[in-house]
């Protein structure tokens, strides 16, 4: 049977055919470690924050909007996953910098301090009345890097598609003090894999790969929280 227009996985929803509603190459990279087969559906939504909106409310709302937009594209029989990540510096929400000046300002403000990164994962599941939501929060200690290092990093163009203007995985700049980091590395990249696994298991889908092992090998990070997350004892 030929799929309907916009329908990537015809027929009933199944674990080997689902949608990642994201254009992030880092999310695709991380999701690829799990062994699950998926298709990418890039969707556009308004990511502007609402005045007075709490960080968790923001990421939940934007991730849900992405999932719902993908679900509206004739994908009624397909499991859909969307995510949104935000950097929180005190009470400020830091999204993707609009230009070099904003990237410089963000990175200099974060230098030598600890901030939070929140990611919301939202699943829309055929036959389920309400979306499934997981939220991960990581405290991120930053190095005391120099202004010259920041300037070179900004000139490379790397900050502009990343919340907070940096990538934890960017080895050339190394913005994060990895030795002091205790939470989820993958969350700071944009897709907390153990939270993803926890959510998928709640939907009856076991990952084909050992996700914590694959994640730690890929990121070269000795994670201390994966077991607690998978047991539901860690946010």
Report CA 124 to chain centroid distance, whole Å: 16
Clarify whether 210 is annotated catalytic: no
How many angstroms separate the Cα of 63 from the Cα of each of 6, 104, 198? 20, 27, 17
pLDDT at res. 60 = 96
Q: Assess if residue 5 is contained within a domain.
A: no
The owner of tokens 């009624």 is 76
Residue range 129-158: average pLDDT?
95
Residue range 126-132: average pLDDT?
87
Lowest-confidence pick of 52-56, 111-115, 135-139: 52-56
The rounded distance, in Å, linking the Cα atoms of 60 and 203 is 19
How many angstroms separate the Cα of 12 from the Cα of each of 15, 42, 76, 176? 10, 22, 9, 43
With pLDDT > 70 as the criterion, what percentage of the chain qualifies?
Answer: 91
pLDDT at res. 133 = 97
46-76: pLDDT as tens digits: 778 888 889 999 999 999 999 999 888 865 6
pLDDT at res. 76 = 62
Confidence of residue 4 (pLDDT cuts 50, 70, 90): very low
Of the residues 16, 46, 84, 99, which is catalytic? 84
Assign residue 42 the CATH number of its domain.
3.90.950.10
pLDDT tops 90 at residue 89: yes
Q: Assess if residue 51 is contained within a domain.
A: yes
Which H or E run includes 29?
helix 25-31
The rounded distance, in Å, linking the Cα atoms of 63 and 29 is 19
Q: 93: domain range?
A: 18-230
Residue range 100-120: average pLDDT?
96
For residue 62, give the 3-state DSSP assignment: helix
Q: Assess if residue 10 is contained within a domain.
A: no
Report CA 10 to chain centroid distance, whole Å: 27
pLDDT tops 60 at residue 136: yes
pTM score:
0.89
Phi, psi of 33 (to 5 degrees): -75, -20
Confidence of residue 232 (pLDDT cuts 50, 70, 90): confident
Q: Assess if residue 222 is contained within a domain.
A: yes
Specify the number of domains making up the chain: 1
CA nearest neighbour of 35 among 188, 215, 162: 215
Provide the mean pLDDT of the chain: 89
Q: Assess if residue 3 is contained within a domain.
A: no
pLDDT tops 60 at residue 7: no
157-169: pLDDT as tens digits: 999 989 999 999 9
Q: Assess if residue 170 is contained within a domain.
A: yes
Q: Assess if residue 235 is contained within a domain.
A: no
Q: Assess if residue 4 is contained within a domain.
A: no
pLDDT at res. 5 = 34
Q: What one-character-per-residue DSSP string does 144-199 give?
A: ---HHHHHHHHHTTGGGGSGGG--TT-TTT--B-GGG--S-HHHHHT--HHHHHHH
């Amino acid at each position: 049977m030929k799929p309907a227009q916009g329908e990537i996985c015809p027929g009933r929803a199944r674990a080997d055919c689902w949608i990642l509603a994201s254009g992030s190459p880092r999310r695709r990279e991380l999701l690829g470690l799990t062994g699950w087969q998926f298709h990418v559906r890039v969707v556009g939504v308004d990511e502007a924050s609402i005045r007075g909106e709490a960080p968790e409310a923001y990421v939940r709302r934007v991730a849900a909007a992405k999932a719902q937009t993908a679900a509206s594209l004739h994908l009624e029989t397909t499991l859909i996953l969307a995510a949104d990540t935000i950097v929180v510096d005190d009470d400020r929400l830091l999204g993707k910098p609009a230009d070099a000046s904003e990237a410089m300002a963000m990175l200099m403000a974060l230098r030598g301090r600890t901030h939070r990164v929140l990611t919301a994962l939202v699943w829309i599941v055929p036959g389920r009345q309400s979306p499934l939501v997981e939220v991960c929060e990581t405290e991120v200690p930053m190095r005391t890097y120099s202004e010259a290092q920041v300037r070179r990093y900004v000139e490379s163009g790397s900050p502009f598609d990343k919340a907070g203007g940096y990538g934890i995985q960017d080895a050339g700049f190394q913005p994060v003090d990895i030795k002091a980091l205790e939470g989820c590395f993958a969350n700071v990249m944009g897709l907390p894999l153990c939270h993803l696994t926890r959510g998928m298991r709640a939907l009856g889908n076991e990952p084909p790969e050992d996700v914590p092992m694959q994640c730690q090998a890929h990121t070269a990070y000795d994670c201390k929280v994966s077991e607690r997350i998978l047991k539901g004892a860690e946010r």
